[in-house]
Amino acid sequence: MQKQEKIVKMFDDIAKTYDVANRVLSMGVDISWRKYACKKVLDNFTHQNINIVDVACGTGDMMGMWQSTAQKQNVSINSLTGIDPSSGMMEVGKQKFPNFTFIQAYANDTTLSDACADILSISYGIRNVVERQKALIEFNRVLKMGGYVVVLEFTKRQQSGFLSKIRDFYLQKILPKIGGFISKNKEAYEYLPSSIQDFLDAKSFCDELKETGFEIIECKGFSMEISTLFIAKKIKETK
């Protein structure tokens, strides 16, 4: 099995316990990170009718956050589409959100048409995308000019310091134990810290976004830089 297929199978295997593990491991704080991201971007679309695509949508939590935040901010959503290659994760999402559209596809080949989206988000997903550069080119293709790509991700730390050591201790020692206990799949939760190590630091990921036609609007770390939010605007075509 190829690396990308193995990653997707791992998410299929942990799909049923994913939401519980997520809430416990982030102590619910991920909700505030998601809310901040949605609110910040939707501020640009008040009274508009927009299309949102959520890539690596998993069990649909980011889609739910887009919907509830849009309602509060007087933004009307014309379409809200989730993309994910894991049928197991999307099955859970469909049960939670029966009215949303889910498409089984990879980030680098979403099957969507050119310039169809005003916003494209990917939360805790880009780290799992093996063909990341192709995916960023695909995001550029799917977004309208001036549209926003919104990425939440665990990035590799840029500096070493006391807080970074605490963060690494939590990610490497505590998280795999708790996640493994909840999901009964320790391997999947050992993959998380190793996938963060294999990913980029925030600055390098900003550089990749810039190279694929995006202008960085915001790059913000949350909770001891455990999670980073990237908001970037499409300013040129990469095709």
Ligand X SMILES: C[S@@+](CC[C@H](N)C(=O)[O-])C[C@H]1O[C@@H](n2cnc3c(N)ncnc32)[C@H](O)[C@@H]1O
Which residue type is seen at 136? L
CB closer to ligand X out of 19 and 48: 19
CB closer to ligand X out of 163 and 178: 178
CB closer to ligand X out of 61 and 225: 61
* List of E strands, the chain: 49-55, 76-84, 101-104, 117-123, 143-153, 214-222, 227-234
The pairing of beta strand 227-234 with beta strand 143-153 = antiparallel
CB closer to ligand X out of 86 and 212: 86
Tokens in use for 60? 């649909």
Distance (Å, rounded) from C-alpha 99 to C-alpha 103?
13
- Compute the least distance from the CB of residue 44 to ligand X, in Å: 22
Judge residue 231's burial from the number of C-beta atoms within 10 Å of its C-beta, 0-12 exposed, 13-18 middle, 19 or more buried.
buried
Q: Which residue has the tokens 């299309």?
A: 51
Instruction: Let me know: does 58 contact 11? Beta carbons within 8 Å.
Output: yes
CB closer to ligand X out of 125 and 147: 125
- Compute the least distance from the CB of residue 160 to ligand X, in Å: 26
Distance (Å, rounded) from C-alpha 230 to C-alpha 233?
10
Which residue type is seen at 40? K
CB closer to ligand X out of 55 and 196: 55
Angle at 91 between CA 89 and CA 92, to 5 degrees: 70
Contact positions vs ligand X (CB under 6 A): 4, 7-8, 11, 55-58, 61-62, 84-86, 89, 106-107, 123-125, 128-129
Tokens in use for 136? 């960023």
Q: Does 123 show up as a binding residue in the annotation? A: yes
Q: Does 59 show up as a binding residue in the annotation? A: yes
Instruction: Let me know: does 118 contact 45? Beta carbons within 8 Å.
Output: yes
Distance (Å, rounded) from C-alpha 105 to C-alpha 137?
15
**Binding residue numbers for S-adenosyl-L-methionine:** 59, 84, 123
**Binding residue numbers:** 59, 84, 123
